Structure 1
Amino acid sequence: MLEVICLSFAFVLGLLAWRCGLPALIGFLAAGFLINPFADSLALPPSTPEILDHVAHLGVLLLLFTVGLKLKLKSLAQPEVFGGGLIHFLATLLVFAPGLHWLGGATWATASILAIALAFSSTVLSAKSLEARRELRAFHGRVAIGILIIQDLIALVVLAFSTGQVPSPWAVLLFGLPLARPLLKRLIDLSGHDELLLLMGLVLAVVVGGAGFSALGLSGEVGALLLGALVADHPRAQELGKTLWGLKELFLVGFFLKIGMSGMPDWDSLVFAVTFTALLPLKAALFFFLLILFRLRARNAFQAAISLTSYSEFGLIVAAALAPDTLVGLALAVALSFLVAAPLQRNAHSLFARLEPWLRRFENHRWHPDEQPASLGDARVMIVGMGRTGTAAYDRLHADDTRLIGLDADPNRVESHVRAGRHVVYADGEDIGFWNSVNLRQIEVVMLSLPDAESKVFATRQLRDHGFAGTIIAHSLYEDEAEAIRRAGANQTYLTMHEAGLGLAEHVRQGLTATRG
């Protein structure tokens, strides 16, 4: 009966939220709040909270593991990540704790715990939003995820010192975990492409990362993320992430239901939640100005700040352990922050385009090394997005001695292309600042192989708005997306699967000719 009620409520309200232009997770939260007061009449079993806790925990572990698959550990050891995360945490604590004590009447202990919980941003919401926009590996995505990891580590330290829990002496063995990378990669190779690969991902995320780290007195969530990062450079890491995607999404439904079912808010809880939801712009502004101080351009500082504009499910874990009486109000604040943050994150690029003239006034023009503007040199053809499609096109055109340049927003991918001898530079096709500064006079053809249709539409409009009169060519998975790209100004669009079918048919024709000949 539990699965019937939870799945039905989650689907109906998730669908309504999606049809209203909101993420489905908002509907899942609403389903939890709606189920909660009718739990008895719906005949939910007494074990419901424990079951949802377990399902939610699995969802978070899988989410963090798949995030780890897309990360490079060395990219986290950056001043803007450590500095931005730590300074923001301390500033929030110093402002919120006295405010909650003097204005809210909380004891210093409760005020401090709430301030700590409110200092964190949602890893689940931010990671899902960045993943949906294919921006986990973009510069601002790596900064945001890095800060989230710093916050999670702070939460673990707070829990360890407040509850008296300390890591097991055997935890020192984890320093040798990198030595196990060859074995882990070999096991992935041996797992094939189907159900064994799925089980291998579950073993790494849930068994080795989750249960293994927990047995050593450490966070299973951090363990899952680190296990993903350990195998992130495996050639099949992307395939492993896609294999786990559906299972991860299903378990995360339980996570959001659990938050909604944590309790019904009273008047004080509602006032608390609305007040701190209204303070979210201050959270975003602090992140923005901190990242500007660390030499990020306004665009990437804004995108990272928007990704961090929410309250955290990890804060609920801290509150549940240390101040359970505050959990309902905090859960409502988290839910309302999701309601505000989700559309902001979805429309972050267009929002920055409107605010750009004002936000760029705060830029430090000694830009971060990862944000140096691209020089196009003498290239005649520009390929925006150097994933598999862009790389294949680059290599084919390069064989004809075409003067080329490739652009990509993933510095690690750029570095890999440069080592392979390709002329590829760091630039983000969704960065309006790039389009404002780049000189396109020598470019005759632009190929767009960005990961999603919205990115291609944006880049096409920027090219035309900045006077580019040459040919724009893009690919797309669906006809309606291809039509939107053409309306934005592209000369030609190709349906990827259709073109793949034509290519296969041509090989068949050649095979028939060779056989008959």
Structure 2
Amino acid sequence: MPHDISLITTIAAALVMGLVFGVIAVRLKLPALVGYLVAGIMIGPATPGFVADVALAGQLAEIGVMLLMFGVGLHFSLDDLLEVRGIAIPGALMQIAAATALGMGVAYLWGWSLGSGLVFGLALSVASTVVLLRALEDTGALDSFNGRIAVGWLVVEDLVMVLALVLLPALSGPLGGTVDPTAGSLWATLAKTLGLVVAFIALMLVVGRKVFPWILWQVARTGSRELFTLCVIAAAVGIAYGSTRLFGVSFALGAFFAGMVLRESELSHRAATETLPLRDAFSVLFFVSVGMLFEPAVLLESPLRVAVVVVIIMFGKSLAALLLVLALRYPLNTALTVSASLAQIGEFSFILAAMGLSLGLLPAQGQSLILAGAMISIALNPLLFALIKPVQRWVHAQPALARRLDRTPDPLAELPSTVAQHTLTGQVVLVGYGRVGRHIASQLLANKIDFVVAEQNRETVEQLRERGFSAVAGNAADPAVLIQAHIARARCLVIATPDTFHVRKMIETARMLNPGIACIVRTHSAAEADLLHSEQAGQILIGEEELASGMTRCVMASLGKKH
């Protein structure tokens, strides 16, 4: 039997301790990930007793990041990414700039150099992939419009960090660090990096969208479940590794695009289901590995600096994101979700800190502060998500504040005067123009039924208006949006958005303005459906039940029987 079993020892200790402290955290009404972080501290080098292999734990955590981002890519199409580019690109760039400026300002007050401040600020500006996705999944917001914005925002952040990691060695000398002899000129490095990233994305979207789904289908035809699972995992990890080695992009970004191209396959749902247990197990290893890096002594040595770092991460950059989203004329709910999503730091921050330390740009205390800020912000991040709904209720209870938050006139929030008035009587008001809403709209159009779309995505509203459709931008839970859609004269309200939190408010507003209106609601949750039924919300459709009913009708028709 081999004597060196550090890999097995590390996995066993991480999973067992993660289970123990995860259960304790849940019993104490805390998120399970807090228990995973504590488990990491307990088996890390900063505490007495058993010490797991930190380097191996970090590599296992990277596998978790790959699988998690691959799973997100399986549910996130290129259309979803392009749909949110209008807010994700400018928002992410401005938020990174604001958070980096805050970090550099604090570093200057502490007497650090310009290079130290730049690395420190960048490390505080980028959110953790794993934490963001786990939070969105736990709140059921991953597939919502707000979830797509947050994921798109994160993809932009990852691309910016890829550029930063490649450019830092070239900038090290001018910024006061050590000179990397392998680093070329700044402009040559920038051109090479941009070229490689563009080449990778083009290769994945042009070639990968056809090749990898075909391979997955060929393996599925063998009838072997284990080969299918192996193919999916090999694609996720292999593409992520290859993208890093050949194109210099991150493991997370490579795995995300791998999932996006495999989404073109009809087997994408099965692929997501097959990899789910493995993704959950390795995401636990990620949080445990973060806890292993934490140095509790920094809390005693520099408590004030740790507090400042946490404030920048959880409030400074979150407030910047909140104001940016509102300035781009998106609803308060979107602004709160995005700002809560970004109120933590993670894997890219650790990589930046390690590189800054190796280049002589970041002092050792800077890395300790970054790790402490990551640990605390990850533990507290679920609490910010829990505050979204109470904050929304409080704002809506303050009419003056609600109006002040929406003080900027938005031309897309009102129907154009050119809309024919006869189309605004007896029409259908369709809330949400996503995958379900598009199909409903096409059927209404085919049957020559007038409709008005209420959609939160301003770019979608602009495109609909260019095609001659009636559409208003905003959250239909806001009475002003339904009023603009002429709900008072509508025959039917169709809620095709997965945002179940605001459904009752939409129906309440619609029936107050139009007591006889028919309401049709989409929901994924049986519990939510029961609640809506009890409140006589109208016709409630559960996606899985409707799919089963449709398939049953097809079966009966093929057997020549009535259903």
Q: In structure 2, do the counterparts of structure 1 residues 108 and 430 end up closer, same or farther at CA, with 3 Å as the change threshold? A: same
Over 3 Å counting, the alpha-carbon distance change for 1:256 and 1:380 in structure 2 is same
User: Partner of 1:151 in structure 2?
Assistant: 157
Aligned position for 2:301: 268
Q: TM-score, normalization: structure 1?
A: 0.79
Greater mean alpha carbon deviation, residues 378-387 or residues 78-87:
378-387
1:108-127 equivalences in 2 (<5 Å): 108-127=114-133
- Aligned-residue offset at 1:444: 4.2
Question: Shift in Å at residue 384 of structure 1?
Answer: 4.3
1:208 aligns with 2:239: yes
The answer to whether the 8 Å contact 2:243/2:250 transfers is: no
Quote how far apart the aligned CAs of 1:88 are.
2.8
2:372 is aligned to 332
What is the SS of the residue equivalent to 1:36? coil
* Inter-CA distance 441–153: structure 2 relative to 1 (3 Å threshold): same
TM-score after normalising by structure 2:
0.73
Deviation string 1:112-157 (CA, Å, 9 cap, x unpaired) is 3222211222332223333455545655444433332332233223
Counting matched residue pairs gives 510
Indicate if the aligned counterparts of 1:64 and 1:221 stay in contact, CA closer than 8 A. yes
Write the distance in 2 (CA, Å) between the matches of 1:202 and 1:416. Answer: 38
Determine if contact 1:373/1:434 at 8 Å carries over to the other structure: no
Structure 2 match to 1:160: 166
**Contact residue 464 and residue 489 of structure 1 kept, 8 A:** no
C-alpha spacing 1:473/1:78, structure 2 compared with 1 (3 Å) = closer
Structure 1 residues 33, 308: CA separation in 2 closer, same or farther (over 3 Å shift)? same
Match of 1:63 in 2: 68
8 Å CA contact 2:124, 2:349 repeated in 1: yes
For 2:284 and 2:230, locate their aligned partners in 1 and report how far apart those are by CA, in whole Å: 20
Residues 1:414 and 1:19: Cα distance change in structure 2 (over 3 Å): farther
- Aligned counterpart in structure 1 of residue 206 of structure 2, from 152, 165, 179: 179
**1:228 and 2:275 equivalent?**
no
Residues in 2 aligned to 1:476 and 1:362: alpha-carbon distance in whole angstroms: 29
Q: 2:218 aligns with which of 190, 195, 199?
A: 190
| Alpha-carbon distance, 1:381 to partner | 4.8
SS at match of 1:251: helix
Could you tell me which residue of structure 2 aligns to residue 244 of structure 1?
275
Contact 2:91 2:321 in 1 (8 A): yes
Give the alignment partner of residue 38 of structure 2, picking from 30, 37, 56.
30
Q: Which runs of 5+ in 1 are unaligned?
A: none
Check conservation: 1:385, 1:406, Cα contact below 8 A: yes
Residue identity matched to 1:118 = L
Q: Could you tell me how far apart the structure 2 residues matched to 1:158 and 1:281 are? A: 24
d(CA) in 2 for partners of 1:383, 1:318: 46
Corresponding letter in the other structure for 1:159: L
Aligned counterparts, 1:433-452, within 5 A: 434-435=481-482, 437-451=484-498
Deviates more, 1:357-366 or 1:502-511: 502-511
Q: 1:94 aligns with which of 61, 82, 101?
A: 101
Range with greater deviation from structure 2 (30-39 or 373-382): 373-382
* Alignment correspondent of 1:485: 532
Deviations, residues 348-386 of structure 1 (Å, cap 9, x unaligned):
3552342254254244645487x7779984455555456
Cα distance in 2 between the residues matched to 1:11 and 1:236: 32
Instruction: For 2:555 and 2:200, locate their aligned partners in 1 and report how far apart those are by CA, in whole Å.
Output: 53
Query: 1:379/1:465 Cα in 2 relative to 1: closer, same or farther (>3 Å)?
Result: closer
Deviation at 1:408, TM superposition (A): 5.9
Identity %: 21
Does the Cα contact within 8 Å between 1:429 and 1:459 map onto a contact in 2? yes
Residue 455 of structure 1 deviates from its aligned partner by 5.2
- Counterparts of 1:233 and 1:420 in 2: how far apart (Å)? 27
Distance 2:545 2:144 in 1: 29
CA contact (8 A) 1:476 1:494 kept: yes
| CA distance in 1: counterparts of 2:231 and 2:148, whole angstroms | 26
| Contact residue 269 and residue 332 of structure 1 kept, 8 A | no
- The verdict on how the C-alpha distance between 1:364 and 1:459 changes in structure 2, with shifts beyond 3 A counting, is closer
Structure 2: stretches of 5+ with no match in the other structure: 1-8, 170-179, 184-188, 358-363
* Alignment check: 8 A CA contact 2:427 2:489 kept: yes
Q: CA RMSD in A?
A: 4.5
